[in-house]
Structure 1
């Protein structure tokens, strides 16, 4: 009897459990967005009680937009929702064999809801670290579909003009890194940087005084864009078409496809650009009272095409490999005509001639990179990074020069030049970061950079109906430089105060050879580059940073190569194979303020430089010869102010002001070059969001006059203007930019010495460009049509 009762109870509970299982209802479907019918990942599926409106169960969609969920409810309805899209509710549905198949669900954008979400969402915020400022990209930017250049424009001290040129605290000499290293994506060729969208970016680091972790080679600052580990956002892309006067006609296509394992990116571009140039010069011999004046105009045409392709492969959550490459091909044509006049002491023209130039060049460029990054489970900031970056460049150039005599007894004269130039660069980098005890971090790593250049330059004169090689102006110059760097930094970073110490050891091996004359210069030197940074956070709106670093500026090919162009036979600029590097001790104290909707920073800095490189001009037979020399020391003390203020959502203003006082001390060839001076520069950029989705940008620059060892550099005042219009919900953007609106940017240099006087002037003129950009996939069209090639 007892056993029978147990069997009956088991049968009862088994039947009840089976009935409960059979009563569960399976709900399935697939969610797509309305614009491009792409899957919506992480959409929320909610099953709610019809009476109480309380949720019974829920789930999210997978990568392909599908979902599957079970419920025990009998009186329920279903909601499908995703941020920025209208929620869909299903109350009338069929249950067939305990299954509800919602099939394909299309979600349409909810602009009003999206605006509310953006306002309420996590805001992008700036953190103050020891040697940098870190801008964490919040959902207010990452959900907007903006490009990385748009994000950069949101950061205090950083400005991006309407053409995409990035400046840091008013200076354009900024190095852009991707994940802490040079990258094909950050190359100046093309607009690959603009193809990175905000939702791919985790944070951006702004470094104005780099620590020992970074290359000791001088730069005005570093911007490091750190990408997220993995994104699953589908297809993004944009196509741009530009027209300009002078010629600035180009087409570009950028495509980015992200999946669970791969991030594929590519870019294609081609076009033609023209750069006009107007030059004036005066060479005056004060001893013999003779003067040579020249006035010329030239036009430089560049036809270019480029392609970039690459991929990030996410092996797993902690390991990713990046492989990318780009190829560009440029064809250059340059023509110029210059009028020369020679006069005597009574200002009478004794000789006059025209010099015509025709130059053609072909430039293939190749750039490639491999990167491996490993993150560790132990700590989110512990990482190992290896990268290898290579590039090659070749220039095959031919020039023809003709002198046609107008006044005087000189015969007509012809010259031609040939240039075979090759460059190869390789950079290998290994970095390891190890956090410990919560507030301490050690970084260590190494870098090996190889730079190899060969410049084969030949000049021939047309004599007696035959081309004769000119041995005084013909030579092959080889430049080979290898730099090995090893560094270690240690940092403590508390909630209020922090300290970071670093040391970098660099060995430089440099070899130059003039092959025709077999003149060799070898140098091998090792330097220590220490750095120290500290910060103190008063509160969320006020912080102090202080830093010291030692920097180096190594002479490059143009500084060392003794042969150069003969465009103007009376104004020759050459290099100096004996040139030594500059060394700078850089000190800086910065206060950073946030006052309401304004961000301000004020910096005091001091730089002491030894073996300062200055160009020295000598004069003989009306010919000025300029070459760089190491001339003494320079002490510069300056003040810099930078501010960004956005009182409303339709108006913002960004300004930089920099003034410094310098003291030069040195001798060259028994002549003292001691002197003192100052210079200052300011930039003001205003941006307006106008009705009908128009954006207006006006920028003005002023750079004061200043002195060098021999020269007086004239001041400069110029303005740029940009206008942007969004249409089709931001999928299409129209851009109009005008550089140097008033054609007032003229570079003038005057040299006054006891026995000669020199004047040189150069003007590029006004550039007007109109562009249209179309964005497809998720996100908007690129806000910027790309940097003007320089």
Structure 2
């Protein structure tokens, strides 16, 4: 695979060289300065626009001395120059002399009204639609204030996050989570790393329900890309935030940026402590012997967390920039829990009662580095070469002790210990090349190579006659190695009203798992094609249609393959299956978008056909329920999605969303058939009100319906979040107050009824109250408006 990848890189560079054109150019140049101080304006946007369509042809930003120089082969254009806080300048009826247009010194006048308008827009979350994705621009969602990335995601259309932090898109959990367009250690299934990203740090979230071939094929329901803010104003800028809450949720964040002519240095610091309590209840009933085990208790996951990011952009010149960054996160976990058990006989009489106490401590170091080189070409602002290399590591050193104490009847005393040493390393190399051949035709091509190596050393010991004895049946070392090589190409046509994008991606996967103590191995080597097609048609200025198709894969996740389990409740156990195969999904959708001054809405119909569906199957013996994932048949899901926003006045806005899908499950496991139909739906309604004295109020209600799985019924629930914000110090300071799950009504309830056994489980996290303050200094504004959008 490594040889193939090297050959492809060489071929790609040959393509790049061969597609460089040398057509006759027109040179446009000038110098942009402040009309009052005559100081040069750096990073002003200069765009050449078509006289007929007003669409962008090419452009760039001004250098530190305010100069710009653009070469183009277009011959029917005008020049537009803009910068935040200044009036936009346009130059039309241009005539070239000897292939040159010199605009001389261009004085920009300030526009305070425009600046104020932009700051206000920066506060409000908005959704934009592009050819193959939706972009949720994060504003000040007050119920997320002081929260984490999970809380922001729960405000994004089409996305839901359950109380265990599991993210779903349109009701499906097969989602690929990216940070700044790339896999990240912060999206690991281990720990709660995504929670270390605070809401203040997020600029926008891209929801890609039908990704083109350019994107990783992983994730059967799509991709969610979290884009982190990076301040770029010249000089020293920054902001800090401090939050507190109940249950304990205390954090501090600091963002700093130093910008010079050649160097942009940025850093972010975060630290905090939080408690995540869970109330639990379980019923395990043996329908053959008519015996029952009941349990209930409270679990805690207490975490100290530290997060440090340091990076720099180095501008060799206007066309070449190198970005190097690193992130280190560290968590210290404490997980105390106490669960009460009762054992009942066939006459429903209590035979014994006891409680099980857990003491768990763990440390989770995480680090990540990234080096990225970007090359812009003079002929077009979208003609780009991008190479990146990224590495990440996650470790967990955990020890747990479980003590059983009998309080009534038959003795069930017993102590157990577990020890875990987990190490995961991933390295990703990407090369992307984008070449516009004209204003309407664009080619994209590239490759990606991902290497993932995991080792999990797990042991269980029982206390026997005062000595710890290792249980050989539950002790082993699990090794997991997966390499994925991907190559892709897409071609796009975007006319005035109609657009089409076609693509093809090929991925080669090499997966190996090994249980070292027993020698059991599972080796898989396969290659797959992933075509994609997207089209859009603009009927009017305010109404457009989109349609898309893509093929996706969901490879077995590490913890679906890992055969070891947590024995916190040793009557309800989940274990992995090393023999799992990947799921494949063909995804189709049609969407309509309509935008008016006060109302905007989006309507979509989608269909997903998934094979080799992974489902958890429960078995029971002696009231011990064991859940294990298997590949079972197919799933056909057809759904409708509607979301929209209504702004009847400047002081109020209402955003709503409804998602419904009907599915048909077919499959057989051994001699059992799992054929059934079902449906599920969710809805979300948010109202935002602006009060006098710079006070904002927001309330969000959500409903998630019950739904069926192959064995169980998952109950529905409804919950409400609210938030209040007050601006201070002329907008530089912001005071936030939020309550998540006001009525403590958010829970997860599962019921499984089979011929030989019945199980019930309930989990509730409860109400969270948070209060925070943030402040911006330099040219920053309280972590809420990031200024000029990043352009190289």
For 2:269 and 2:323, the matched residues in 1 are separated by: 19
Of structures 1 and 2, the one with the larger relative CO (CA 8 A, separation 6+) is 2
Q: Which residue number corresponds to residue 350 of structure 1?
A: 351
Counterpart contact for 2:157–2:657, Cα < 8 Å? no
Alignment size in residue pairs: 678
Q: State whether structure 2 residue 286 is matched by structure 1 residue 297.
A: no
Cα deviation, residue 233, structure 1:
3.1
Counterpart contact for 2:202–2:229, Cα < 8 Å? no
Residues 568 and 225 (structure 1), Cα distance of their counterparts in 2 relative to 1, 3 Å cut: closer
Cα deviation, residue 225, structure 1:
5.4
For 1:464 and 1:127, the matched residues in 2 are separated by: 66
Cα deviation, residue 411, structure 1:
5.0
Residues 264 and 529 (structure 1), Cα distance of their counterparts in 2 relative to 1, 3 Å cut: same
Residues 181 and 415 (structure 1), Cα distance of their counterparts in 2 relative to 1, 3 Å cut: closer
Residues 361-409 of structure 1: CA deviation (Å, up to 9, x unaligned): 0111111111001011122111110111111011110101000011223
Counterpart contact for 2:202–2:226, Cα < 8 Å? no
Q: Which residue number corresponds to residue 441 of structure 1?
A: 442
Residues 780 and 184 (structure 1), Cα distance of their counterparts in 2 relative to 1, 3 Å cut: farther
CA RMSD of aligned residues (A): 3.6
Cα deviation, residue 412, structure 1:
2.0
Residues 598 and 759 (structure 1), Cα distance of their counterparts in 2 relative to 1, 3 Å cut: same
For 2:117 and 2:784, the matched residues in 1 are separated by: 23
Cα deviation, residue 353, structure 1:
0.8
**Equivalent residues in 2 for 1:221-240, closer than 5 Å:** 221-223=223-225, 232-240=233-241
For 1:670 and 1:501, the matched residues in 2 are separated by: 43
For 2:496 and 2:209, the matched residues in 1 are separated by: 22
Residues 6-38 of structure 1: CA deviation (Å, up to 9, x unaligned): xxxxxxxxxxxxxxxxxxxxxx999899xxxxx
Residues 427-483 of structure 1: CA deviation (Å, up to 9, x unaligned): 111100111133111111001111111111100000011110001111111111111
Q: State whether structure 2 residue 550 is matched by structure 1 residue 578.
A: no
Q: Which residue number corresponds to residue 464 of structure 2?
A: 463
Counterpart contact for 1:331–1:361, Cα < 8 Å? yes
Q: State whether structure 2 residue 391 is matched by structure 1 residue 385.
A: no
TM-score relative to the length of structure 1 = 0.80
Counterpart contact for 1:31–1:43, Cα < 8 Å? no
Q: State whether structure 2 residue 779 is matched by structure 1 residue 778.
A: yes
Counterpart contact for 2:63–2:318, Cα < 8 Å? no
Q: State whether structure 2 residue 194 is matched by structure 1 residue 188.
A: yes
TM-score relative to the length of structure 2 = 0.79
Cα deviation, residue 327, structure 1:
0.9
Residues 631 and 407 (structure 1), Cα distance of their counterparts in 2 relative to 1, 3 Å cut: same
Q: Which residue number corresponds to residue 368 of structure 1?
A: 369
Residues 314 and 334 (structure 1), Cα distance of their counterparts in 2 relative to 1, 3 Å cut: same
For 2:364 and 2:376, the matched residues in 1 are separated by: 40
Unaligned residue ranges in structure 1 (runs of 5+): 1-27, 34-38, 45-60, 66-81, 87-108, 136-147, 154-158, 785-790
Q: Which residue number corresponds to residue 690 of structure 1?
A: 691
For 1:681 and 1:124, the matched residues in 2 are separated by: 21
Counterpart contact for 1:235–1:256, Cα < 8 Å? yes
Q: Secondary structure at the match of 1:188?
A: helix
Q: State whether structure 2 residue 175 is matched by structure 1 residue 169.
A: no
Q: Secondary structure at the match of 2:333?
A: strand
Cα deviation, residue 344, structure 1:
1.3
Q: State whether structure 2 residue 622 is matched by structure 1 residue 621.
A: yes
Q: Which residue number corresponds to residue 754 of structure 2?
A: 753
Q: Which residue number corresponds to residue 482 of structure 1?
A: 483
Q: Which residue number corresponds to residue 732 of structure 2?
A: 731
Counterpart contact for 2:583–2:613, Cα < 8 Å? yes
Q: Which residue number corresponds to residue 525 of structure 2?
A: 524
Counterpart contact for 1:184–1:368, Cα < 8 Å? no
Residues 763-788 of structure 1: CA deviation (Å, up to 9, x unaligned): 1111111111111111310249xxxx
Q: Secondary structure at the match of 2:473?
A: helix
Structure label with greater radius of gyration: 1
Q: State whether structure 2 residue 659 is matched by structure 1 residue 658.
A: yes
Residues 779 and 646 (structure 1), Cα distance of their counterparts in 2 relative to 1, 3 Å cut: farther
Cα deviation, residue 260, structure 1:
2.1
For 1:43 and 1:583, the matched residues in 2 are separated by: 45
Q: Which residue number corresponds to residue 319 of structure 2?
A: 318
For 1:319 and 1:537, the matched residues in 2 are separated by: 35
**Equivalent residues in 2 for 1:529-678, closer than 5 Å:** 529-678=530-679
Q: State whether structure 2 residue 387 is matched by structure 1 residue 398.
A: no
Counterpart contact for 1:655–1:684, Cα < 8 Å? yes
For 2:498 and 2:63, the matched residues in 1 are separated by: 44
Q: Secondary structure at the match of 2:580?
A: coil
For 2:232 and 2:521, the matched residues in 1 are separated by: 53
Unaligned residue ranges in structure 2 (runs of 5+): 1-32, 45-61, 67-82, 88-109, 143-147, 161-166, 169-174, 188-192, 786-792
Counterpart contact for 1:183–1:369, Cα < 8 Å? no
Counterpart contact for 2:399–2:419, Cα < 8 Å? yes
Cα deviation, residue 334, structure 1:
0.9
For 2:86 and 2:214, the matched residues in 1 are separated by: 45
Q: Which residue number corresponds to residue 505 of structure 2?
A: 504
For 1:120 and 1:278, the matched residues in 2 are separated by: 41
Q: Secondary structure at the match of 1:552?
A: strand
Counterpart contact for 1:535–1:543, Cα < 8 Å? yes
For 1:408 and 1:374, the matched residues in 2 are separated by: 75
For 1:704 and 1:725, the matched residues in 2 are separated by: 35
Counterpart contact for 1:192–1:254, Cα < 8 Å? no
